[in-house]
A and B are shown apart, each in its own frame.
Chain A
Amino acid sequence: MNMDRVFSLLLRNLIWILLAAVIVFFSLTTSSFLTVPNFINILFNASVLGILVIGQTFTLLTGNFDLSLESTLGLCGLLGIWLITAAGTPYYGSGLMLSVWLAVPLLLAVGALIGLINGWLITAMKMNNFVVTLAMLIIVRGVTLVLNNGQTAYSISETYNWIGLGKIGSLPVPVVLMALFFLGAHVVIAYTPFGRELYAVGANRNAALASGVRPDRRILQVYVISGLLAAFAGWMLSARLTNAMSSMGEGMIFEVFAAAVIGGVSLKGGQGTVLGALGGVLLLATINAGLNLMNVSVYWIQTIRGAIILVAMLIDAQKIRYVAPAVHAAPSESQTSVP
C-alpha cells in the first residue's frame, strides 16, 4: 500500500525525476556543468521558450492548439524594433522612430489581436482550432516578411533591449520575468475559478456547459492570453538578439509542444499543470546546455534532442498505462490482436 503510494508519487513527478537524472548525468560527464553561471545561462536560454509554453499550456488545457505562436513571436519582435528605428542602412526600421513606450504596447496589442482573431474564428465561426492557427501561422509569417521586405531590423535602443539584456542584481531580466510569469500562471490556473473552468472546458465541454461555464468565452480568452504572451516573448527575444530577422521563431512551435507535453500537459485538454510545463522547458534547456558543454557536434545535437524527447514521451506513455490500466484497456489491441 505504502509502496504503491510512493510509486504513484514518483510517477506523478516524473518530469522532475527526469530533470534530476539529466542534471546528474551532465554533472558527472562535464566539469563545467554544475556551476552557478551555467545554471543561470540555462534559465536565460529557457526564458523565451518558457513564456511561449505558458501560453500554449493555457490553450492546451481547454483542449485547443495554438500553432500560430511562433509566427506571432516573429511578427511582434520585428514590429517592436521596426517601429523604433530609422529607415534604410544600417538599421532597416520604418523610420517612424516611435518611443519604446509606445512601440511596446503596440506590439503587445498586435499579439492580443492575433489571439482575438484566432479565438473568434474558432468560437464564433465554429472553425477547427488546428486549421485556424495553422493558417494564421502562415499568414502572420507572411505579414512579417512583407512588413520589412525580408530585411533584418536592428535595435540600438537600450530601453527596448533591457528586457532581453538587462540585469536585476546578478540575475538576467528574462530569467526573473520567466519566473514571475510561471508563478502568475500557476496561481491563475491552480487557484482561481478561471483556471478551474479551463480544466472543465478541456476535460468535458458539455459537462462544463451544463455547470454554467461558458466554454467559448474561455477559449476566446486563452487565445488572447496566448497571443499576448507570444508577443511579449517576441519583444524579449528581439531585445536579446538586438535584431529581428523575418524568420525569427520559425520552427519553434515543435519545441513548444514538446516541452508542454513532456511536462505532462495533455494534447486532449483538461490535464496538466503549469509547474509540470516548467519542468518540460527546463528539461529541454538543460539538455541543450549539457550537450553544448560536452562538445557534441552541432550536427548531432538536434538528433539527440529529438531522441530524448521520444524517450521521455515513451516513459510517459508507459506511465499512463500503469496508472490507469482500466481506462486504457477499453479499445486496446491486446485483446483482439491478430499478429
Chain B
Amino acid sequence: MKIDRSRAIQFLLDNLVWILLLLTLLAFSLLTPRFLTVGNLTNILVHSTVLGIMVIGQSFTLLTGNFDLSAESTLGLAAIIGAFLLVPAGEPNFGAGLQLSPLLVVPIMFAVGLAVGWINGLFITRLKMNNFIVTLAMLIILRGLTMVITEGRTITGLPETFKALGAASMGVVPISIVVVGLAFLAASLVTRSTRFGRDLYAVGGNRNAALASGINPDRRIRHVYLISGLLAAFAGWIMLGRLGVGATRMGEGMIFEIQAAAVIGGISLFGGRGTMVGALGGVLLLSTIDSGLNLLRVSGFAINMIRGLIILFAMLIDAQKARYRAPVANSTYVTPAVRQTS
C-alpha cells in the first residue's frame, strides 16, 4: 500500500510538465470561452513550431551536457541568407539580386546551419574550449554577420512556394504542425531507441564512464552540434514562412525561452537526463500560457512578467522534486550549470 502511494507520487513527479499543462488548459478554459476552440488550439500549436524545433536541437546538446547559446543567431543567419538569395536587389526587396530557386536556397540554408554546428563542435572538442563560451561568442558573431548582410533592412517579397512550410495548410492542418510533430517523434525515437541516443545520455551522465565503455564523447558532441545547427536553420525556414519577411533581429532573445522550455520539460542542464517528449511538454506549456494571457487581454508587457513567474514556479516545484527524490545528490544543485567538455 505504502509502496503504491510513493509510486503514484513518483509517476506524478515524472510527468509534472503535463500536469501543469493540463491545469493551465483547464484554468484558461474556465476563464475565457474563446480559449477552448479548435481554432485557438491550432493557433497555439502553430506558435509552438519554431520554438519546438529549436528546443529539439537544444535538447540534443543538453543531453550531452553542452549548451548551444548560438542557436538563436544560427536561426537568424540561415533565414537571412535564405531570404537574401531568393529576392531581387534594391528597393523594396533588398535581396542579393540572385533570385535563386527555393530548391537551391533551402539546401544552402541547411548548409549554413551545419557549418555553424561544425565550427562549434570543432572549437569545443578539438580545441578544448568551454561550450558556453564558444557558443556565446558565436551568438555575437552570427548576429553580427546577419547585420552585415541586411544592413539593418527588412528583406521582403519571398516566393509563396518557399513560405508554404510556415504559412500553408494541408486541408485544415497547418503543414508546420505536422512537420514539427514528426520532428518530435523522430527525435524521441532517436534518443530512446538508438545506440546514438543512448550514447548521448551516457556522455552527459558520466563522461568518463562513457569513454571507458567505448563511446567517443567528443565525436558525439560534434554530432549534436551539427544537429542543433541544422535544426536552427530549419526553424529559420519555418519562421520566414510565418513572418513572410526576413528581419535582422529574427530569433533575438529566443535562447532564454528555449532553455526555459527545455528545462521545464525536464531536460537537465547538467546533461544525461530528460526526454524529448518532456521537452515537447515544456514548449506547449509556454505557448499555452502566452495564448491564454493574450486572449484574456493581458497587456503584452505583463505577459512577459507572468511568463517568467510561471517558469520560476515550475522550476521551484521541480527543485523540490529533486530534493524529494535524491536528498544526497542534491548538493550538486548549487554547483555551476556549465560543464566543461574536456
Contact = CB atoms under 8 A, between A and B. Distances in A.
Contact of B312 (A129, A136, A146): A136
Contacts of B217: 331, 333
Contacts of A206: 331
A303 B302 contact: no
Given A134-B260, A258-B136, A215 B334 contact: yes
A128 interface: yes
A100 to B, nearest CB: 26
A257 B301 contact: no
B269 A128 contact: yes
Interface stretch (B109-117, B140-148, B185-193, B231-239): B140-148
Contact of A306 (B140, B207, B302, B320): B140
B263 interface: yes
Nearest to A209: B331
Nearest to A332: B342
Contacts of B11: none
Contacts of B148: 297, 299-300, 303
Contacts of B129: 313-314, 317
B127 interface: yes
The CB with the most chain A CB atoms within 10 A, among B132, B216, B319, is that of: B319
B333 A128 contact: yes
Interface stretch (A104-112, A117-125, A236-244): A117-125
A121 B308 CA distance: 14
Contacts of A132: 312, 315
Contacts of B263: 131
Nearest to A68: B308
Given A150-B301, A306-B144, A299 B336 contact: no
24 contacts: A65-B337, A123-B334, A125-B320, A127-B316, A131-B263, A138-B308, A142-B307, A145-B305, A146-B299, A246-B301, A261-B130, A303-B145, A306-B143, A307-B137, A310-B141, A313-B133, A317-B127, A320-B128, A321-B128, A330-B208, A331-B207, A331-B342, A333-B218, A337-B218
B12 interface: no
B39 to A, nearest CB: 28
Contacts of A257: 132-133, 136
Nearest to B269: A130
Interface string B250-264: 001100100110010
A303 B144 contact: yes
Interface in A4-45: none
B160 interface: no
B98 interface: no
A132 B129 CA distance: 26
A99 interface: no
B308 A307 contact: no
A331 B269 CA distance: 20
Contacts of A190: none
Contact of B334 (A122, A142, A146, A336): A122
B125 to A, nearest CB: 7
Contacts of B13: none
Contacts of A215: 334
A65 B269 CA distance: 13
Given A121-B316, A137-B256, A145 B304 contact: yes
A267 B133 contact: yes
A126 B333 contact: yes
Given A137-B256, A333-B218, 18 more contacts: A125-B319, A129-B334, A130-B336, A138-B256, A138-B305, A142-B306, A145-B304, A146-B305, A251-B253, A258-B137, A269-B336, A299-B147, A300-B148, A302-B140, A303-B145, A309-B140, A317-B127, A331-B207
**Most chain B CB within a 10 A radius of its CB, from A146, A215, A250, A269:** A146
B272 to A, nearest CB: 15
A254 B252 CA distance: 13
B170 to A, nearest CB: 35
A338 B304 contact: no
B324 to A, nearest CB: 11
A140 to B, nearest CB: 8
Interface residues of A, number: 69
B184 interface: no
A276 to B, nearest CB: 15
B311 A304 contact: no
B338 interface: yes
Contacts of A149: 299, 301
A135 B260 contact: yes
Contacts of A143: 305
Given A126-B322, A317-B129, A333-B216, A131 B315 contact: yes
A142 B301 contact: yes
Given A126-B323, A135-B315, A333-B217, A313 B134 contact: yes
A123 B330 CA distance: 12
Interface in B189-210: 207-208
Nearest to B315: A131
Given A254-B136, A310-B141, A331-B342, A142 B216 contact: no
Contact of A139 (B125, B301, B308, B320): B308
B316 A125 contact: yes
Contacts of A219: 334
A15 to B, nearest CB: 14
Contacts of A309: 136-137, 140
A205 B334 CA distance: 9
Interface string A242-268: 000010001100100110010000011
B132 to A, nearest CB: 6
A337 B216 CA distance: 7
A303 B208 contact: no
Contacts of A268: 336, 338, 340
